[in-house]
């Protein structure tokens, strides 16, 4: 897959090792513990993550809008200040053995702010989804990326088209991935043998590999994306055989909850990165 011209891709080549939420099957998702493991142990090239806006206007790294799944807290992320969120145990719920043990519980793992994450990995590239449709979140997000010097090392966007469009207006020079409806239009057009809509705002197709039983990535999609200067990252792939097939097809990047397995597969190549 040819590289797009955006500075985000400088020095990169397929297939990218992308740790989904830091590798959420190996360590508590969206925490520095997970991100550090992915970077230091599995040499990930991109950290995928999500951000929410706190009650006091800070951006915190979290996927869910509520706290119960990952922490010992309750309620909505948006109803808490950053300080309140960072007093919670973000390793409380993580288990590798179906709930028999909780190896990160009580170990001081907490929810990082976006600033903390960017500062912890100053040379790392990120794929960041802005989760909630909150007025002004795009401006707060842009301010953090600009102040931390991270605009060229972050591919940004939202599943929600309204938020994705606001992000594109707020930071037109950033690398943006397609929001849901625009992505759907692109993929359906290709599957129907038609030219997809041209939208210069978006460079990256972050997309599921399967929709139900249908495998969405095929030769036509890869060929069309390459011809239009678009990059494809697929999520969430945790099976080594599927990883190997994607690498052979030349996929741009693989998002995985098992960065250990993806590193093993990528290192099988004759000249691994």
Contact 175, 145 (CB under 8 A): no
- Residue 269 is predicted with a pLDDT of 81
The model's pTM is 0.96
Cα–Cα distance for residue pair 261/103, rounded to 1 Å: 21
Contact 37, 27 (CB under 8 A): yes
Residue-by-residue DSSP string for 213-244: TEE---HHHHHHHHHTT-EEEEE----HHHHH
User: Is 156 among the domain residues?
Assistant: yes
Q: 218: how many CB neighbours lie within 10 A of its CB?
A: 12
- On whether residue 107 sits in a domain, the answer given is yes
Q: Is 271 within the bounds of a domain?
A: no
Domain membership of residue 134 (yes or no) is: yes
Report pLDDT for 2. Answer: 64
Query: Which pLDDT score is estimated for 210?
Result: 96
Cα 18-88-75 angle, rounded to 5 deg: 90
pLDDT in 10s for each residue of the chain, 273 residues: 667 889 999 999 999 999 999 999 999 999 999 999 999 999 999 999 999 999 999 999 999 999 999 999 999 999 999 999 999 999 999 999 999 999 999 999 999 999 999 999 999 999 999 999 999 999 999 999 999 999 999 999 999 999 999 999 999 999 999 999 999 999 999 999 999 999 999 999 999 999 999 999 999 999 999 999 999 999 999 999 999 999 999 999 999 999 999 999 999 987 655
d(CA 153, CA 145): 9
Q: What distance separates the 2 farthest-apart alpha carbons in the chain?
A: 54
d(C-alpha 95, C-alpha 168), whole Å:
38
CATH number at 40 reads 3.20.20.190
59-61 and 125-130 beta bridge pairing? unpaired
132 CB burial (10 A radius; 0-12, 13-18, 19+): middle
Domain count, the chain: 1
Q: Domain limits at 187?
A: 7-266
Query: Token pair for residue 154?
Result: 């972050």
**Cα gap 92→71, rounded to integer Å:** 5
Would you say residue 272 lies in a domain?
A: no
């Amino acid at each position: 897959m040819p590289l797009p011209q955006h500075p985000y891709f400088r020095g990169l080549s397929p297939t990218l090792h992308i740790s989904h939420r830091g590798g959420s099957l190996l360590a508590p998702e969206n925490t520095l513990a997970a991100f550090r493991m992915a970077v230091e142990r599995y040499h990930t090239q991109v950290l995928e993550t999500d951000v929410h806006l706190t009650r006091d206007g800070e951006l915190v790294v979290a996927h869910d809008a509520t706290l119960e799944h990952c922490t010992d807290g309750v309620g909505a992320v948006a109803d808490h200040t950053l300080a309140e969120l960072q007093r919670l145990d973000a390793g409380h719920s993580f288990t590798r053995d179906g709930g028999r043990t909780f190896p990160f519980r009580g170990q001081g793992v907490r929810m990082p702010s976006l600033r903390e994450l960017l500062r912890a990995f100053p040379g790392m590239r990120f794929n960041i989804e802005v989760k909630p449709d909150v007025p002004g979140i795009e401006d707060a997000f842009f301010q953090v990326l600009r102040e931390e010097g991270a605009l060229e090392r972050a591919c940004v966007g939202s599943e929600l088209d309204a938020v994705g469009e606001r992000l594109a207006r707020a930071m037109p020079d950033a690398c943006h991935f397609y929001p849901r409806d625009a992505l759907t239009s692109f993929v359906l057009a290709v599957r129907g043998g038609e030219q997809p809509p041209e939208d210069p705002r978006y460079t990256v197709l972050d997309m599921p590999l399967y929709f139900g039983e249908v495998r969405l990535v095929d030769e036509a999609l890869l060929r069309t994306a390459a011809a239009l200067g678009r990059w494809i990252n697929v999520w969430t792939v945790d099976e080594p055989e599927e990883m190997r097939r994607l690498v052979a097809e030349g996929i741009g990047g693989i998002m995985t909850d098992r960065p250990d397995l993806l590193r093993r597969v990528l290192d099988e190549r004759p000249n691994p990165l």
